[in-house]
Amino acid sequence: MATINKVVLKDLNDILKIEKHVFKTDSYPPFVIRQLFDISGNYFIAAKEDGEILGYAIGGIKTADNQGWILSLGVHENARGKGLGKQLTKKLIEILKEQHTTQISLTVYPTNASAIKIYKDLGFVGNEILDNYFLDHEKRIVMTLNTN
């Protein structure tokens, strides 16, 4: 059974492997993963089983309006279909809610039906497809969860 805990520095290489495999050319480069580790603190979590990282989630808070963000979520291909993506998302929502966020947002590829289903099951809404969200001419959907 997987446990979910805060990421530690020695976890980053395994997380990078998952990030690159899941997001391919759109993956965060190593220096971004390291900086997210440095600034995300408790909002960077991983699911582990028998010492192996199966998946991770990274969040943050936009302090100006206390809006939480889920910045990245990845599950190793060998661990898919076990509900880990949903478990990681739920745990990150809990952590962000503890900081009294008013809303939690995320972006998702419109073609990622399995992720969209997870997010909708957890109460996220939003289906407007935005062109060029990341200034790379890729389409994204911004989904939000009100936490009040």
**CATH number for position 76:** 3.40.630.30
Over its length of 148 residues, how does the chain's per-residue pLDDT go in tens digits? 899 999 999 999 999 999 999 988 888 999 999 999 999 999 999 999 999 999 999 999 999 999 999 999 999 988 888 899 999 999 999 999 999 999 999 999 999 998 999 999 999 999 889 998 888 888 999 999 999 7
| Residue 80 CA: distances (Å) to CA of 60, 77, 98, 103 | 24, 5, 28, 27
Tokens (6 digits) for 91 = 């745990």
Residue 100 neighbours by CB distance under 10 Å: 11
Q: Is 103 helix (H, G, I), strand (E, B) or coil?
A: strand
Look up the pTM and report it: 0.93
Look up the domain containing 77 and give its range: 3-146
Work out how many domains the chain is built from and give that number. 1
